């Protein structure tokens, strides 16, 4: 085989590997979008239950009454879920879809923290959400989530600190403490996402090489068959 033929064959394998890689990524994005859509719906149902059964006690001591802000949070939960769910089924795999989902998911964390009266246990929802979003294997999605959750914590910590920290006058450094742990988690999740992406590319390259080998063997067999006849 001439050098020109060899180079053309290599370029064909590289192009096929990239095609397989992009197809795999799009399939991953689309399937993760649909998974997140079901999560959004489930979170809304959970938020309604939390608002009806827990929030009145968390916000009013021993007097179980449904405050206007609880109902507003329930409606807000529906609003937060509507667009991500619609995009997940109408435009699965679209870059905007996963970033909208990432932003909405982190706002969901803030909403659930609010509905629980700022209970520290609910803050774990932030880290669980980051872990799920890492399934996209796209560090940009994690970056969007980090900016949104940090901004939401910062603004609400100034405007309504009790709804996020559970106390009306938290220490001034409380926001920085929360932000540090979020960034800490995102750094490692981003590294894992990058490694997962590289593994997908490696599999795509191997698949392309196997395809090229199989095609070459088929052509060789075809030539031998014609020669024999």
**Could you tell me which residue, 219 or 129, shows the higher pLDDT?**
129
- When the pLDDT of each residue in the chain is averaged and rounded to a whole number, the result is 83
Q: What's the rounded Cα separation, in Å, for the pair 142 and 164? A: 22
Q: What's the rounded Cα separation, in Å, for the pair 91 and 26? A: 11
**Could you tell me which residue, 211 or 100, shows the higher pLDDT?**
100
Does pTM top 0.85 for this prediction? no
Provide the token pair at 164.
Answer: 């996020």
pLDDT exceeds 80 at position 198: yes
Provide the token pair at 139.
Answer: 């560090």
Helix axes 3-53 and 95-115, enclosed angle (nearest 10) = 20
**Could you tell me which residue, 158 or 80, shows the higher pLDDT?**
80
**Could you tell me which residue, 55 or 114, shows the higher pLDDT?**
114
pLDDT at residue 215, as a whole number: 75
In the chain the first and final C-alpha atoms are separated, in Å, by 25
Place 144 in a pLDDT band, splitting at 50, 70 and 90. very high
Place 204 in a pLDDT band, splitting at 50, 70 and 90. very high
| Percentage of the chain exceeding pLDDT 90 | 46
Residues 81-112: tens digit of each pLDDT = 999 999 999 999 999 999 999 999 999 998 88
């Amino acid at each position: 085989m001439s050098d020109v033929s060899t180079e053309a064959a290599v370029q064909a394998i590289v192009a096929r590997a990239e095609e397989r890689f992009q197809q795999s990524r799009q399939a991953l994005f689309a399937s993760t979008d649909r998974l997140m859509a079901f999560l959004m719906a489930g979170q809304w149902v959970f938020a309604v239950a939390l608002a009806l059964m827990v929030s009145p006690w968390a916000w009013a001591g021993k007097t179980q009454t449904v405050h206007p802000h609880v109902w507003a949070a329930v409606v807000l939960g529906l609003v937060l879920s509507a667009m991500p769910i619609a995009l997940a089924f109408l435009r699965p795999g679209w870059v905007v879809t996963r970033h909208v989902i990432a932003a909405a998911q982190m706002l969901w964390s803030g909403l659930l923290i609010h509905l629980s009266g700022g209970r520290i246990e609910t803050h774990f929802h932030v880290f669980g959400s980051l872990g799920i979003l890492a399934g996209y294997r796209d560090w940009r999605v994690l970056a969007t989530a980090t900016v949104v959750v940090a901004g939401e914590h910062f603004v609400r910590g100034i405007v309504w600190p009790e709804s996020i920290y559970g106390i009306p006058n938290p220490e001034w450094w409380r926001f920085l403490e929360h932000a540090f742990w979020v960034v800490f988690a995102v750094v490692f999740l981003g590294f894992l996402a990058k490694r997962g992406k590289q593994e997908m590319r490696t599999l795509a390259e191997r698949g392309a090489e196997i395809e090229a080998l199989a095609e070459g063997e088929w052509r060789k067999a075809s030539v031998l068959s014609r020669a024999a006849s």
